[in-house]
Structures are given as structure tokens and as C-alpha cells.
Amino acid sequence: MTHPCDTLRAVVWQDDQLQLLDQRKLPFEQTMIAFDNASDVTKAIKDMVVRGAPAIGITAAYGVVLAAKKAYAQNPQNWTLLIETEMQQLLHARPTAINLVWALKRMRACFSGLTGDPVPALLAEAQRIQQEDVEANYRMGELGAALLPSFCRILTHCNAGALATGGYGTALGVIRNAFTAGKIMQVYADETRPWLQGARLTAWELRQDKIPVTVIVDSAAAALMRQRLVQWIIVGADRIAANGDVANKIGTYNLAVLARQHGVKFMVVAPTSTLDMNLTDGNKIIIEERGADEVITMAGQQIAPHGVAVWNPAFDVTPAELIDILVTEKGVLEKPTTASISAMMNR
């Protein structure tokens, strides 16, 4: 089953290799990079060739397939021992996105039941993980879009689209579905400093599907809301604690505070694989800090004084009380709480 505006896959298994669309080169160059070993897949995740929590998890799952292929060729009897180093490298590629941990646990759960060559069964599992993600995105797109009014104007942050997932997208899945239903008047995309995922990736994705998009600098969001130019903010998530606190791209918390001040609704869209029920609240989420070069350089040009100190957290945490709607493939929660999330997860 395919949906309108579903034309893009950034993670592809083809010719016995993993192929990733290099998101560092978008929007000006569309380059697929082929990977035949797990170590290079780990580096691709670290270097943000691929990014977005669901896409990272799916990529790691395919990395396990490549690691198993290598290990089985070296020692068919002890491949599960040989694979362990590369499993750990994948696990620690990026610390904040829970989907990475979730996907690796799911792949590891297959090991004990395997006899002979493990690659076909592990590949089938990785492909299931990707397909299930796409189907979850379709479902979330329907659920989220149903909540939006006609002639809706939306602000989104970072990139939570096909590029960040197995396909179709989480936040952009809602936008795609609503656009197909004739509900979308305008989408605004924060540029999302410092890596510019909004300006480079979200704007590119939406233009591919002819969805009207306007890029704004992150600091223009308050003025946009003050002028009543948006009714909803819709974002994805990299990790959600058991109480509904959400870790997402740095700047998301800003938007949630501004939304509350201006009477704008705030929606988070994420599959249940993004929920970390082992963390009671967002204070326990590990926040990745990245290098200074992302902040003090742009397109290879230095834009700040040499030697200046830089703080570059990749994510922030939005408290659950600032979230109006949480959409997962299992349903919609208004004002998510520990109790309502637990009930949803146990359905």
C-alpha cells in the first residue's frame, strides 16, 4: 500500500548492500552511498550521512546484517561472538535516539533461533523493521491530519520526514496526509541551526511533493506566532520518556514555550519505538553534544572568532505539560501523562 506524496526512501537495501542517501549534500546533490560493512555504517550514523531517530534505527538494523555476513564468513560456528564488537560500535554511534537501541535489541533477539547462514533471516527482520516504520507513519499521518482544521498553517522544526524515517515521515507524514486531504494552506519550516535540517532537508522534501513551504530563521518563530500566521506546530521526537517529556532537535523546547504563550497548538508525532518506558522523565535523557565546527563555521567558512567557546547540544527536552497532542501508531493522546502513556503501551 502506498500513499500520495510518498516518493522518497533515504535508506535502501539493494544488491546485497545498504545504500544511504547522503543528507549532508542535500538539497543540491542527491548521492547514494553504498555500504558493505558495519564499521562504515557506524561512521555514517556519527557523521550524519543518515539522521533522524527512526532512520538511524533502521540503518543500524541493516548494519547488523552486514556485520553478521562478515562474521559468519570468518567463523560460522562463533559468528555471534565475532559480531559483538561491531554491535557495540553501532550501539554507541549516537546517544540520544532511542530507536537505535530498540532496533539493535530487536535484531539481537533473532540470534538465538538461527541455524546456518544468519543473513537471510536477519535481512528479513531489518526489512520488517523498515516496513513497519513506514506503515506506522501512514497511520500517524491519518491520525494527526484528522485533528487539523481546514486552511491550516503549520510550523515544523528540523526534519521529521521521509529522510528521517523508513519513509513518508512522522511530522511530515501528518503534513503530507493533511495536504492530500486539502487541509494545508501553508507550511513554515524553521531553518534549524546549526545543521540546517529545516532549510536544506524539510524544504527540499516538501517542494518535491509541491507542498507550499516557507523557510524562516529559528528566531522568527515568535513573530510568526504573534502575527497569528500558524495554528499548529508539528514536530517529531528522538526519545520520549515515560511521562511524556520529549527530546527532539535543539530549539523544539523554545517553540513549545512560544506556542503556549501565543495559543498555538503543539503536536509531537513519533512511533512507539521512540518511547523509552525505562526513563521516568526527560531529566534522565542523555543529550548529545556535537563539535564546535557545526556552530562556528558555515559552508566551510569561519563565522566566529577563532578559539571562541561553543556549547552545541544537538537536542533539548520539552516537558510533557507543554505538549497538547502526542500521536503514535497506537493512537492519539491529549496532554500525555505517565498514566495515559502506560495505558496506551499496554493496549
Please list the active-site residues: 238
| 96 within 8 A of 135, measured Cβ to Cβ | no
> Rounded to 5, what percent of the chain is helix, strand, coil?
45, 20, 35
Say how far apart CA 261 and CA 246 lie, in whole Å: 19
Say how far apart CA 225 and CA 261 lie, in whole Å: 9
Residue 127: in which H helix or E strand, if any? helix 119-145
Could you please report the per-residue DSSP string of 274-340? GEETT-SSGGGSPPPB--THHHHEETTEE-S-TT-----BSEEEE-GGG-SEEEETTEEEES--HHH
Amino acid at 39: S
Q: What are phi and psi of 324, to 5 degrees?
A: -80, -40
Residue among 315, 244, 241, 247 nearest 278 (CA) = 241
Say how far apart CA 133 and CA 161 lie, in whole Å: 12
